[in-house]
Amino acid sequence: MIRPVVSIIITCYNYGHFLAEAIESALQQTYQYKEVVLVDDGSTDNTREVALRYPGVKYIYQHNQGLSAARNTGIRSSKGQYLVFLDADDWLLPNALSIGVPYLRHHPQAAFVAGSHKRVYTDGQKEEDKPLSYAPNPYYRLLSLGNYIGMISAVMFTRWALSAFHFDTSLRNCEDYDLYLNLTRRYPIVQHQHSIAAYRIHRASMSADIDKMLIGVQKVLDRQRTNLRSPLEIEGYSRGMHCWITYYEGRSDYKLEAGPLPDYQQTIQFFERFAPQAVQAYAVRHEHTKVERNSYTLTKGSSRLVQPAVPLAAQIRRAMAIAINYLLPFESRFGYDLRWPVERGYIEQFRQQIVEDLNGVVLDLQDSTYKDLPEKSTLTDALELTGATNNAQVYYKRNLLTLKELPGNTFDCIVFTHSLHTAYNFKTVMHHCRRVLKPGGTLFLTVPGKGEWNNPWYWSFTADEIRRLLVKIFSEGSVQLESLGNADVAVAYLYGLELTSVDQNKLSYHDPEYQVMHTIRVTT
């Protein structure tokens, strides 16, 4: 018997009248290598009778212990490498497994893959598509703006992730939100917008009990307090509590307007007394003009702050004034958790500039976390390079660790942006780049100047250092180097401000004394 790749775990407690639809949606999946496990959590209706109509379903009965315990029983009783959880009153769309499995196979480091779902209302309302809103920092998004992932059946988990974290049996609701927070705090995830499940909204639904849900979600969020590691996360936790209370007090499952944010000065005084590490982050984000300071709107699943742009100099002055006392950056990962770090503007600009110069066989090198795919693609299929693509004919995207396996004199161009510093043996990597380039080929390279100082960054380079290295490995006179950055940009980068906070006019001014990064062209 072939071992199943995916286990679909259906949990049921007195939902026998919905159960057949859920089971059939699992059995009729287009993906073959699956098993269906049904955990009956002590039902007293016709659940057992319905389940036994389907010989392909593994039926397990237990005395009523709650949803978390039922799901944990399903995990222990299943064999699949990947797991999908389905409530008895919901159902999967036919291609749910076929969509999810390739994502996890191509990203084995991911704890789970999440997609979109649709809502089906039993009161006659029109069906509603709920596309997943992509979050560059899933943990912060879950902390600050609620459970944006939503329906658990739109998620496919890896078994190894659920070995590290299971469903907490002390929770009577919001156990999926608790699991999402725990997993995204530790591991990367994959997100897509394919609709893969249907969520039935009816009066008997657990999520319809507003008072119990508010108590549950506050309990789950409050458990994250001991895990908060940065001002950004502290602020996210505070904002999350505010959003959930306003959401459930709105008595609406659709849209609402949150109340005004608390008075700025009162909030600062509160933080200084009870959470001094969060003061700097709050000050940088929220000290705007009095007219616009409290402009805040919220829509479930798509939340945003409406805030005016604040000049970089003003942000830095406020941040530095507070940092004198607390010595903390605004965001400890140099802006990556906010979406676009300052240096990213220079990288994207460089990649767009070189498109016209790409030709022949192009190799795009990624850092050591990238998972290589076996197929090749044309440059027009590449997501990272935009613009004219007429000159490039064949495009490869590879992990830098695979360089040693590639044949020599193969590539006309190598694009290697901001990954060299993650290789401990960076000189060896450069020698391999020289080896695989054809005579007359070109290496397009970016490296950090004043870079990060934590894992996985091993190196930062001055202009003289990287030039001397490349001249030694490649022929002299073939290296064209430009250093980018200035004092304002360097300070913004070190404080972890994001790209949109920087005055765009200042990005084009470059001071050789403040080298944020270097862009390089090397011709063999």
| In-domain check, residue 144 | yes
Is 412 within the bounds of a domain?
Answer: yes
Asked if the structure places residue 256 within a domain, the reply is no
Domain membership flag for residue 332: no
Q: What's 369-436 look like in SS3? A: CCCCCCCCECHHHCCCCCCCCCCEEEEEEEEHHHHHHCCCCCEEEEEEECCHHHCCCHHHHHHHHHHH
**Rounded mean pLDDT for each run of 10 residues along the chain, 524 residues in total:** 88 92 96 95 93 95 94 95 95 95 89 93 81 87 87 95 91 90 92 93 58 81 82 78 70 38 56 50 46 32 35 51 50 50 78 85 80 40 36 74 89 91 90 93 89 66 91 83 86 68 73 88 91
Say if CB 281 and CB 235 are below 8 A apart. yes
Q: pTM, whole model, 2 decimals?
A: 0.53
Is 349 found in the same domain as 206?
A: no
For residue 498, is it within any domain? yes
Residue 357 confidence (pLDDT): 87
Residue 416 in domain: yes
Show which of 165, 187, 210 is a domain's final residue: 210
CATH of the domain at 484: 3.40.50.150
Residue range of the domain that includes 162 = 6-210
- Residue 25 sits in a domain whose CATH number is 3.90.550.10
pLDDT at residue 500 in the model: 59
Kindly tell me the burial class for residue 76, based on how many C-beta atoms sit within 10 Å of its own C-beta (0-12, 13-18, 19 or more): exposed
365 in Cβ contact with 519 (< 8 Å): no
Would you say residue 143 lies in a domain? yes
- Note whether 205 and 352 are same-domain residues: no
* 315 belongs to a structural domain: no
Count how many domains the chain has: 2
Residue ending a domain, choose from 210, 245, 260: 210
Which domain-ending residue is among 192, 210, 228? 210
